[in-house]
Structure 1
Amino acid sequence: MTDTIKAEFEVLDERFRSCGGDQWLVRLHTGDRWTEGPAYFPAGRYLVWSDIPNDRMLRWDETTGAVGVFRSPASYTNGNTVDRLGRLVSCEQGPRRITRTEHDGSVTVIADRYDGKRFNSPNDVVERSDGSIWFTDPSYGIDSDYEGHWAESEIGACHVYRADPVTGRVEIVADDFVRPNGLAFSADERLLYIVDTRQSPSHIRVFGTGEGGSLTGGEIFGTCDQGVFDGIRLDDAGRVWAAAGDGLHCFAPDGTLIGKLRLPEVVSNLTFGGPKRNDLFITASTSVYALRVNFNGARPRP
């Protein structure tokens, strides 16, 4: 059963005035505890997301509108992405690892340790065109039993990592974050944007990417004026969309906050989907929303 909510685009800069779409947000599902990690599968025309405290993942079928359980228990999965071969890559906060669900449904562990020590609780994940898997590792899944299993950190800090799914090699790419969270590459992969949720104020940093995946820079790109930033995505104009306390915040490529898409719940994450990547799917507290927009999500490099 779906309902609709008035879509409110708040223009803060004239560059945002061209952003729009349907007049109504469609609430695809509600009744979860904390939704996260939306991932859209074009081949199957369905959306998967995490309901972390309930230890399950749900699936919405675009062709029928039906919502059902995709996986339960789900290892307290948080962030998800779809790799270039159409497989689900997930951050499992329970067993503290990155996994890939194969086409036959089997699960492959990509990484679960760095230097022999278990990760804290992988949070969000993206794939680069070379096949490497990049992910953040804050401590939310081990801070309590609410979204995982309480435990002491073995690493003793919260870093950003790159994993090679072929060799299994894991490297730290950024080690100066308090609580790294959402991350996203620019379409040409020359830039990597990473959220630090627990800095005051919560902000997005931007890094240049060098040969072999090394990062340079790390300047603050944008700060949050309502709640904290969480998941982020880029559109095809290079704008950065960030989940925040009052909805989605939109930043121009130069870091100016140009507008907001207001939502009635705290937003955790977002992704673009649909045949043209112009369906915006948003996970927000207890619900999942969809909005057809007049712009497109950034298309990953092949």
Structure 2
Amino acid sequence: MKKIILALVVVILTTPAWASVAITVKDLGEGKAAIDYSGTELVRAFALDITVDAGTIDAISDFAVGDDNNGYGVFPANFSRHITVDATTGEVSDWAVAGYTPVAAADDPGALGGLGTNGITIEMGSLYDTKAPALEGRLCVITCSEACKVTVTTNATRGNVVLEDASEATVDLAGATDVQIGGVGNYTGPQPDEWQAVGNPDCWIASINARQCKGDADGLSQGKQKYWVSTSDLDILIGAWNKSFAEIDGQTIGGVPLICADFDHMPQGKQKYRVSTNDLDILIANWQAADSPAADCP
């Protein structure tokens, strides 16, 4: 097997039929974000761009190194720079070489700026005799310098995502787009899984709108009495009434996403309506009370 190191390069340059692979980003706390994958067919190699909208990506960790280890430890961008293959045996005697990481150099074609900038390009492949990677797992963990939103995209110049059969995968990046990591941007309410399921809406975050869970969809007061729950919030609720997330995703009223009228942060009924009677009850309970309710959503 170890005599076929160049097979990875051949695979990356080949492109037939399609299968789906999902890439997701998970907030691990302390500024760290996990880059995970899952699919129905085995991936041979990943070429991905990872960017942040604020600060920099300062470190990468928790990645496999080497071959035949149930992981993606062969890094095409840095292989020739750091790894020596015995010309006779085809063996790699030492994978633990300083500088051998998945991060492509900034001067590689199509690569982003690298660690210490707002974007890195990673390339990760597998070679194995018996210990193939799993159909789902963790590629790596990045460390961000400050609270930010992390986005992952495929890198066509470096090869995108390629399957074991040399075909190029279709890649689902919905769970790896604008994912909030760290800082005041974190959702601190009781339903973090629901927050992620509906695209991490900012309006659910108490540090941004501390009255949203009490019926204040737009984060604004109305009139001289400073009604925090009033007609503009009702308009947003009506716009989202008895609709699933798929039906309201991306829709706004007055620039406010309709998902902001989901005051209890839970779907309701068999149809999984994001905004329904439970949310209406919350709005009614706080309707047009002067300078109320208190700004104390969890």
Higher strand share: 1
Higher helix share: 2
TM-score with structure 1 setting the length: 0.23
TM-score with structure 2 setting the length: 0.23
Answer with 1 or 2: which has the greater Rg: 2
- For CA contacts below 8 A with separation 6 or more, give which structure has more relative contact order: 2
